Amino acid sequence: MELTGNWFAESVSPDLAVLARLRAVLFSGATAYQKVEVLDSCVFGRSLVLDGKTQSTETDEFVYHESLVHPAMLCHPEPKSVFIGGGGEGGTLREALAHHSVESVTMIDLDAEVVELCRTHLPGHHQGSFDDPRVTLRHEDARGYLDSPGGGFDVIILDLVDPLEEGTAYLLYTDEFYRIAKARLNPGGVLVTQSGPAGLPNHRECFTTIYHTLSGVFTHTAAVQVHVPAFQTLWGFTLASDAPLLSTPEDGLDAAIAGRIAKELRHYDAETHRGMFALPKYLRQGLAEETRINRDDSPVFMT
């Protein structure tokens, strides 16, 4: 096949790359923290790419954002206060605000330039959520914010860039950070974090370690996987709490979604939930065999 036009090449692993044909490059440059590209691809539409890694695309972002937000939010009986770390596109914010019970959301994204680019170029992601009066948006270090005196949160959602050695977020995946975050949770509070690739070739890069690290901090943890087409692999999330997780009975989940969320979801429902939490054997085995703990002085990096 002859390749014509402009193409974006992304490394999935050191030995695997994928190509996507582009309609347009809406932005390409660098902020004080990272390289940023906003691309319009023929397959995935408008896409945010940070340091060469696709963060989300308008074609399938709802799969990622609904999977990250709603299982965790529904584990809490009535989440009123929410903290979001990262999430510059606004998709995570959009989904959290859809819960009727939410009274306030504090969103901390280090890179104000990325947020402004997303406000301009990715309106389908945020859908005006940055302008919701319940939102407090700050541009500072999420760890420093959580480690400062302040009120508690019912749900903490960590929609962070991957833990790359040269990146901005690897110290937001460590045992020490999770203990800081736990201290800001209200009683019965729930934390969820994106946890990196969960596919067969690369699930041990960071997913199993993040899960194992959280298991040493919280009484209850749950691992989740979902296929995100733009990521070219299964993707992992980890839920953690000192209260029992998944308290909504499965046969009542669709009713809970209908009663608690002020929108029609495109991905997440009771049947999808069963698939997300039903891990394939290789993942269950990888999680059971993991011994590494991600610490400040010995962080685990994605390759």
Q: What is the pLDDT of residue 5?
A: 83
Q: What is the pLDDT of residues 40-72, one digit of tens each?
A: 999 999 999 999 999 999 999 999 999 999 999
Q: Do the beta carbons of residue 115 and residue 34 sit within 8 Å?
A: no
Cα 45 to Cα 57: distance, rounded to the nearest angstrom: 6
Print pLDDT tens along the chain (303 aa): 677 889 999 988 788 899 999 999 999 999 999 999 999 999 999 999 999 999 999 999 999 999 999 999 999 999 999 999 999 999 999 999 999 999 999 999 999 999 999 999 999 999 999 999 999 999 999 999 999 999 999 999 999 998 876 677 899 999 999 999 999 999 999 999 999 999 999 999 999 999 999 999 999 999 999 999 999 999 999 999 999 997 666 788 999 999 999 999 999 999 999 999 999 999 999 999 999 999 999 888 877
Classify burial at 10, counting beta carbons within 10 Å of its beta carbon; exposed 0-12, middle 13-18, buried 19 or more. Answer: middle
Residues that are catalytic: 159
Q: Locate 130 and state its tokens.
A: 């940055």
Strands, sheet with 53-57, edge to edge from the N-terminal-most edge strand: 6-13, 16-30, 35-41, 45-50, 53-57
Cα 55 to Cα 105: distance, rounded to the nearest angstrom: 21
**Rg of the chain on CA atoms, in Å:** 18
Cα 55 to Cα 122: distance, rounded to the nearest angstrom: 12
Q: Do the beta carbons of residue 241 and residue 220 sit within 8 Å?
A: yes
Report angle CA 204, 273, 220 to the nearest 5 degrees: 60
Q: Which of 64, 58, 62, 55 is nearest to 41 (CA)?
A: 58
DSSP collapsed to 3 states, the chain = CCCCCEEEEEEEECCEEEEEEEEEEEEEEECCCCEEEEEEECCCEEEEEECCEEEEECCCHHHHHHHHHHHHHHHCCCCCEEEEEECCCCHHHHHHHCECCCCEEEEECCCHHHHHHHHHHCHHHHCCHHHCCCEEEECCCHHHHHCCCCCCEEEEEEECCCCCCCCCCHHHCCHHHHHHHHHCEEEEEEEEEEEEECCCCCCCCCHHHHHHHHHCCCCEEEEEEEEEHHHCEEEEEEEEECCCCCCCCHHHHHHHHHHHECCCCCCCCHHHHHHHHCCCHHHHHHHHHCCCCCECCECCCCC
* Model confidence, pTM: 0.96
Q: What is the pLDDT of residue 183?
A: 98
Domains recognised in the chain with CATH numbers: 6-57 (2.30.140.10), 61-289 (3.40.50.150)
Q: Do the beta carbons of residue 46 and residue 103 sit within 8 Å?
A: no
Cα 4 to Cα 7: distance, rounded to the nearest angstrom: 8
